[in-house]
Amino acid sequence: MTTPQAPSTSDQTWGAAPAPGTPSKPGWSPGKKIAAGAVAVAIVAGGGAAIWAASSSSSAATDTQAGPGGGMTGGPGGSGGLAAALHGEYVASDGNGGYVTKLTQTGEVTALSATSLTAKSDDGFSKTYTITSAQATGLATGDTVTVVATESGDTATATSVTDGESGPGQGQLPGGGQGTPPTG
């Protein structure tokens, strides 16, 4: 059942003062004002906490989580996404308020010494990386590796070398398997 309402007239305007003799509507009670303020504070605090949680990270997580495919396998492109990349470069935080360009490559080791590794991806891209003797330990020519590196001039220095048949695109993400952990 509806309450009949007076027909509107052309001189009534939204937000205009009520006609003389019309009873005014009561404002919000103090209790309603307090409740509305509490809801607003809760929304702002929750949003701020979510933003803080999403933006805080450590530099150690940069290679393994924020690098190509680092936990992002459900994003655009389905389960492949960046994890299926054969090689590329990306920018990451250096942990000191600056940024560093990182390189990543998955491919077969075509040359190996105690100080360098050359990897060739399935698409023919080949690159030589400076490595440490610890990173070379356990590797052999013909192994499939995932390399994460920084580049200065023409020198690419590996920060992570992951050995294994299952590299990105086969279920393993950069820095997520055996080999040496990221060094920053």
pLDDT in tens, 34-75: 888 888 888 888 887 777 777 654 433 444 444 444 444 444
Q: State yes or no: pLDDT of 144 exceeds 90.
A: yes
CA-based Rg of the chain, rounded to a whole angstrom? Answer: 30
Query: What counts of helices (H) and strands (E) characterise the chain?
Result: 3, 7
172 Cβ partners below 8 Å, 6+ apart? 146, 162, 164, 166
The CATH architecture annotation of domain 61-74+81-180 reads Beta Barrel (2.40)
Q: What is the pLDDT of residues 65-94, one digit of tens each?
A: 444 444 444 444 445 566 778 999 888 888
Q: Which carries the bigger pLDDT value, residue 73 or residue 138?
A: 138
Domain boundaries, the chain: 29-57, 61-74+81-180
Using CA atoms, how far residue 156 sits from 30, 115, 134, in Å, is 66, 12, 17
